[in-house]
Structure 1
Amino acid sequence: MLLSLMSLLSLVLLVGVTVAVPAQEKRIHRHSDLSDRDHDDATGFQYDHEAFLGKEEARTFDQLSPDESKDKLGKIVERIDTDKDGFVSHRELHQWIKHRQRRYIEENVDKHWKEYDQNKDGRVGWEEYKNTTYGFYLDEEFDDVDDKTSYKSMLTRDERRFRTADRNGDGIATREEFTAFLHPEEYDHMKGVVVQETLEDIDKNGDGKIDLNEYIGDMFTTDSGESEPDWVRTEKTHFTEFRDVNKDGFLDASEVSQWILPGEIDHADNEARHLIHETDTDKDGLLALTEIIDKMDFIKTSCLTDYGGLVVDGHDEL
């Protein structure tokens, strides 16, 4: 079972005329652009659903009748099939998922760009971001906030990530730099931030490394009285035999890096291969519309159909 590397810290406060601190991404997710779900077919296909359909479209598919779902899937397959031979190849599927992946990121950046570019100069300065996000509470030094420590920690983390994304160090982010700030997992020069934030989140005792209890506690707690599932025992084995490379009982920054950034993994390619494996009934390496329709329940729980809103009747170009 894959460890979900994203947890959301909702820090929303309203002051007077609606000055708010929006929810922050407390943890960077390696492939949140495909799905925030765990990729575990034993418990369901929601990861694959969102990878094929896209996050927003995956939600709307659940509301469609079987005939409406077939019709919409047919239109999506027509767009994926770029050579118009009536089949979806691995190359076409990979290209589609990468396109939807990038579309999701661009739409996410668009949404935040409008919010933070206060002076409309086509750039976002650190001061603009800080004042828009934390506003009133900066003057009060977070004294009116219940969890003052968390807010200060979030401000420190935001500034560190912003400064790393700001390649020329002028304190002002171009659109590309702001994209690196919001989606550091997509940029090589941000990998240190990805590792550092993950380490800080899981390292509860602040000793700069992750022990087995912290590693498991980030995924599973026994507070509910639930018995330990099999996958937890598997993760304990993974920690001991694979994650803890030097066998000292801890994960340091280097080992965390090897764990969450194990080389250049193409999650879109992996998902394309997985979808073909699960859907290609005649095992010819190609997906026909009939095969996709036959596995519609699986596809409807996949990430193919849209990242951030696919309009299959519109003119969204590849």
Structure 2
Amino acid sequence: MLLRSLASLCLLAAVAFAVPAQEKRVHHQADLSDHDHDDKHGFQYDHEAFLGKEEAKTFDQLTPEESKDRLAKIVDRIDTNKDGFVNHAELHYWIKHRQRSYINDNVNKHWKDYDKNQDDKIAWEEYKNTTYGYYLGEEFDDVDDKATYKSMLNRDERRFKMADRDGDGIATREEFTAFLHPEEFDYMRDLVVQETIEDIDKNGDGKIDLYEYIGDMYTPEDGESEPEWIQTEKKHFTEMRDANKDGHMDANEVAHWILPGEVDHADNEAKHLIHETDNNQDEKMSKKEILANWNMFVGSQATNYGEDLTKRHDEL
């Protein structure tokens, strides 16, 4: 009995590890950074927007001299028309490209795990057997919460079929990207909204009320007073999220919440960087102007140290 329990725990861990990143619900349109955009307290948001989240970590380990040298080479790459300046269109394209690189890296990482026959395609059967194979044979008998794992399988299959545009049961790299990152594809929009509602809607009425909205973000501990930010979120719900004021968010309102298509973060960031760097106000940046403001674009050990000092000072 003990050995069976230990085996079940190990297998549960294996399945949890096998299920890839698409199981995480998309709450909001992907932003350029996990940090708040507040230049008064550092430029980490700008670093991740300009470099991509992973590359920004690399620059954080460099000296200021190394960081500026690499930045100079990046500027040459951004300046695609080779006129010696970086304009809005070039910077906007670069930032969008960096964000897309993050997605491509994530897809490539999972691709190797699931393309078992190395035909540069992933069939639904390949994905299903790799992720759930052992449990399929046992009909989830070794899993305590059978319903959860069956629900995960059904959800994966529904998303895979939606991403598989030609309906042949086989995902190309583009279709597998839509499977892992549906928020990036217009034709997956309705599915993202549906998954979000299913995860938050606890009473099963197909809508999200205020209590479900807050409950998805915060569960109070015994005796704990409600944080101030909860009041802000409640206000957002009543004044913004619930547009028709019926006390719920329906599918259209959820879509506006999590997929605000009118917001182009890359465009906003490009405008911001040019505004802060373009000293002569000619609406473009020279390499000299960029390097003079290098710590806004890229990090280093020195800038991180400075941000740490600022953070400690604020805490005091």
TM-score, normalization by structure 2: 0.79
Q: Which residue of 2 aligns with 1:49?
A: 47
The structure in which a higher percent of residues are helix is: 2
* 8 Å Cα contact 1:118/1:128 also seen in 2: yes
Q: Distance in 2 between matches of 1:286 and 1:295?
A: 14
Q: Unaligned stretches of 5+ in structure 2?
A: 1-8, 300-316
Pairs aligned (count): 286
Aligned to 2:18: 21
Could you tell which deviates more after superposition, 261-270 or 178-187?
261-270
Matched, 1:197 2:198: no
1:88 is aligned with what amino acid? V
Counting only pairs closer than 5 Å after superposition, residues 1-318 of structure 1 correspond to structure 2 as: 14-15=10-11, 21-25=18-22, 26-28=24-26, 30-32=28-30, 34-35=32-33, 37-41=34-38, 45-223=43-221, 225=224, 228-229=227-228, 231-300=229-298
123 and 269 in structure 1: CA distance in 2 versus 1, 3 angstrom threshold: same
2:107 maps to a residue whose letter is V
User: 1:119-144 deviations in whole A, cap 9, x for unaligned?
Assistant: 22332111110111112122223333
Contact 2:29–2:260 (8 Å) recurs in 1: no
Q: CA RMSD in A?
A: 2.8
Q: Does structure 1 retain, via aligned residues, the 8 Å contact 2:29–2:259?
A: no
**SS of 1:135 mapped into structure 2:** helix
* Matching residue's letter, 1:24: A
Give the Cα separation in 1 of the matches to 2:277 and 2:145: 48
Relative to structure 1, the CA distance from residue 120 to residue 242 in structure 2 (aligned partners, 3 Å threshold; closer, same or farther) is: same
Output the CA distance in 1 between the equivalents of 2:217 and 2:287.
38
Deviation at 1:284, TM superposition (A): 3.4
- Shift of the alpha carbon at 1:250? 1.0
TM-superposed CA distance for 1:286, in Å, is 2.0
Structure 1 residue runs of 5 or longer lacking an equivalent are 1-12, 302-318
CA shift, 1:187, in A, is: 1.8
> Cα–Cα, structure 1 residues 138 and 220, in superposed 2: closer, same or farther, change >3 Å?
same
Counterpart AA for 1:218: D
**Alignment check: 8 A CA contact 1:22 1:133 kept:** yes
CA pair 278-97 structure 1, distance change in 2 beyond 3 A: same
Larger Rg: 2
Q: Which has the higher contact order (CA 8 A, sep 6+)?
A: 1
Deviations 1:240-282 (A, max 9, x none): 1121112111111121012222345433222212332344344
- By how many angstroms is 1:31 displaced? 4.4
Mapped contact 1:280–1:287 kept (Cα < 8 A): yes
Counterpart code for 1:106 = N
Structure 1: distance between partners of 2:97 and 2:233: 33
Identity of aligned residues (%): 67
Cα deviation 1:197-237 (Å, max 9, x = unaligned)? 122222234332212233233344544947623x5433322
Distance 1:102 1:137 in 2: 34
Cα distance in structure 2, aligned partners of 1:212 and 1:281: 47
Deviating runs (4+, > 6 A) in structure 1?
A: none
Residue 305 (structure 1) aligns with: none
Q: Give distance in 1, aligned partners of 2:97 and 2:132.
A: 34
Range moving further from structure 2, 191-200 or 20-29: 20-29
- CA deviation map 1:81-126 (0-9, x unaligned): 2233332211110111122233333332222222211122332111
- Check conservation: 1:33, 1:105, Cα contact below 8 A: no
Contact 1:116–1:132, Cα closer than 8 Å, also in 2: yes
- Cα separation, 2, equivalents of 1:101 and 1:70: 21
2:72 and 2:146 mapped to 1: Cα distance? 52
Please give the alpha-carbon distance, in whole angstroms, between the structure 2 residues aligned to 1:44 and 1:146: 47
Q: Which amino acid aligns with 1:100?
A: R
- What is the distance in 1 between the residues matched to 2:125 and 2:135? 14
Structure 1 residue 33 displacement after superposition: 7.4
Tell me the distance in 2 between the aligned counterparts of 1:43 and 1:74. Answer: 25
